[in-house]
Structure 1
Amino acid sequence: MTITQLQYVLAVAEYKNFTLAAEKSFVTQPTLSMQIQKIEEELGVLIFDRSKKPIQLTPVGQQIVEQAKNIVLESGRIKDIVDQQKGFIGGDFKIGIIPTIMPTLLPMFLNNFVKKYPKINLIIEELNTQAIIEKLKSGHLDAAIAATPLDEERLKEFVLYYEPFVAYIPEQNKLSRKSLIKPEDLEINEILLLRDGHCFRDGIINLCNTISTDKKANFQIESGSFETMIKLADEGLGITLLPYLHTLDLSERNRAKLRHFEEPKPARQVSLIFGQTALKMHIIEALRQVISGVVRGAIAFQNVEIISPLPNKK
């Protein structure tokens, strides 16, 4: 069997369709089918149950796919070793970033990084945390930036910085009279939240999980935009919480509506995440150094309390 054959097996296992797997593998469908048939004949087993729609793995096929993932990932380490020996820092590098970090962090470090490492082709994708975890484990991402800890055994985390939560409170709200606020001051049903699937939303819920929820709001909204939350707050529909870096781009008028928390400030931990058997560690380290360098001046908070980004966690 060959590495290429194993890659074809992994493609069919992922897409559950020979035609789509061939398209994603940049080969014809007959070529991909023939190569998978060869490996099945060599092993004397069926990897896929072709009678099912969509195609399913056989019980032994599931075990073969898990081992194939390890083999394909480890085979990539050979080129990685050679690149590091030659001092070459380049090639494609796929990175995922969660939506509540992408708009603020990416402009801070991207220009510096591409100038310092012009031979690296960064392929950046905005993904939610669950999609990042799945793609890291399957080898479809080299690294990611997200709120942590994630409690995933197969993933490693390099902490980049701690980013406090900041409250955006319009003048008509009673909390606007306070110079500093505490989590106990918040009412969860008064807080405008991002839609489900955002770990920043889960962090806010975890921050407020001891607060009474007897009062019910008379509207529901699902939005992935902090800007929408700010405009709704200005209309008197509640307050919202923002990550600190997002507050740096607000107008002077809107910054006057910000209220920081008393210390220890509730904050999210932002980390560079990668698989335990990660390839391209020299690129991961280069990325870590560049990001740490640019955020050091913007994020200077030390006395913080880390709020979990996981649902239903304190």
Structure 2
Amino acid sequence: MNVSGTLSGLSLRDLEYVVAVAELRHFGRAAERCAVSQPSLSAQIRKLEELLGLSLFERTSRKVLLTPRGEAIVAQARIVLEEARRLLALANGSDGALSGRLRLAAIQTLGPYLFPHILPQLRSAWPELTLILSEGRTDSLLDELRDGRLDAVLLALPVEADGLTAEALFFEPFLLAHPAGHRLCGAPHLSLGDLDPAELLLLEEGHCLRDQALAACGLSARGGGVHATGLETLRHMVAAGAGCTLMPLLATRGDEGRTATVGGLVDYRPFDGTSAGGRPPGRVIGLVWRSSDPRDRGLRDLAALLHRTLPPGTESVLSRRDD
């Protein structure tokens, strides 16, 4: 292979096309993201495959899959594109400011309840910034962040942060969600010791909130029992009288701040300050991004804005952790 000839045929735009198809697994949606026609995108990717002498994708009538060699090419393409963004940041003097597109994700037990609160402030602070929002579970979000498929993630700290920067934002307490008329309704005080482990409803394995709830209650992972796939299902299980659960504060509020009681069938009780530091059980929410991201200064500005925009009922956390 003629290396100089191959390099002259490579373009960053073609790499963007390849990464878009790899992420979306769909040529049409990738073309929409890249603001180009699908025939043009497909033609450029085929041209790149010919240049490299390999197939990047398996194409069928129903789905698009990366080939094993394609996975390695896409991983390197993400690195090349990130370094290209760093070069442009140095050239235009933006010194890491946020611009263009920001792929921001949150864990599933946080995103639907936090995004409506922070979006007006984000749009006001960076009106030209294109926000692409998504949700997922902690492990998959961190994998996508490390691979360059995401730019920043909102999740519960601490996390394994090798090569990542984590900024703590706020402490979110857990409330007890129980059926209306439950035995704990009239209790003057509420502590974790008042809970009956047999009544505790949990999310299915893979959700960090499940592990946090078990840890808060001093319980080990349980194999049996009924588990929910998401918070809304969990809330409806409580409404149906199946048991009680620990619910993050932000998830107890519906539209316009109304308490989400599922037709009056669910009540929420705060816990006394029974955990370390006198806090009730809860979690610390933080913003995490790659330490190598050329927009580090802008992402720190984003963390500072989120810290100033605390949701009602949460508590400021000022600690910083860089790894």
TM-score where L is the length of structure 2: 0.71
> Residue 307 of structure 1 aligns with which residue?
none
- 2:251 aligns to what? 246
> What's 1:309 paired with?
none
Give the gaps of 5 or more residues in structure 1.
Answer: 41-45, 303-314
Query: For 1:1-314, what aligned pairs fall within 5 Å after superposition?
Result: 1=7, 2=10, 3-7=12-16, 10=19, 26=36, 27-40=40-53, 46=54, 56-58=67-69, 65-82=74-91, 84-85=93-94, 89-170=98-179, 171-173=181-183, 177=187, 179-182=189-192, 184-208=193-217, 210=219, 220-226=226-232, 228-247=233-252, 249=257, 250=259, 257-261=268-272, 262-264=274-276, 265-295=280-310, 298-300=313-315
Count matched residues. Answer: 290
Shift of 1:246: 3.0
What is the TM-score normalised by the length of structure 1?
A: 0.73
Give, in angstroms, the shift of residue 15 of structure 1.
Answer: 7.3
1:22 and 1:270 map into 2 onto residues whose CA distance is: 35
CA RMSD of aligned residues (A): 3.9
Deviations along 1:260-285, whole A, 9 cap, x unmatched?
Answer: 14132332121111123223224312
Partner Cα separation in structure 2 for residue 211 and residue 202 of structure 1: 9
Specify whether residues 161 and 189 from structure 1 end up closer, same or farther in structure 2 by C-alpha distance, changes over 3 A only. Answer: same
Q: Is the 8 A contact 1:166 1:242 kept in 2?
A: yes
CA distance in 1, matches of 2:16, 2:275: 51
Moved more, 291-300 or 255-264: 255-264
How far off is 1:241 after superposition?
Answer: 0.7
Letter of the structure 2 residue corresponding to residue 284 of structure 1: L
- In structure 2, do the counterparts of structure 1 residues 128 and 211 end up closer, same or farther at CA, with 3 Å as the change threshold? closer
Indicate if the aligned counterparts of 1:90 and 1:120 stay in contact, CA closer than 8 A. Answer: yes
Q: Distance in 2 between matches of 1:106 and 1:4?
A: 31
**C-alpha distance in 1 between matches for 2:15 and 2:96:** 29
Q: Which runs of no fewer than 5 residues in structure 2 stay unpaired?
A: 1-6, 318-323
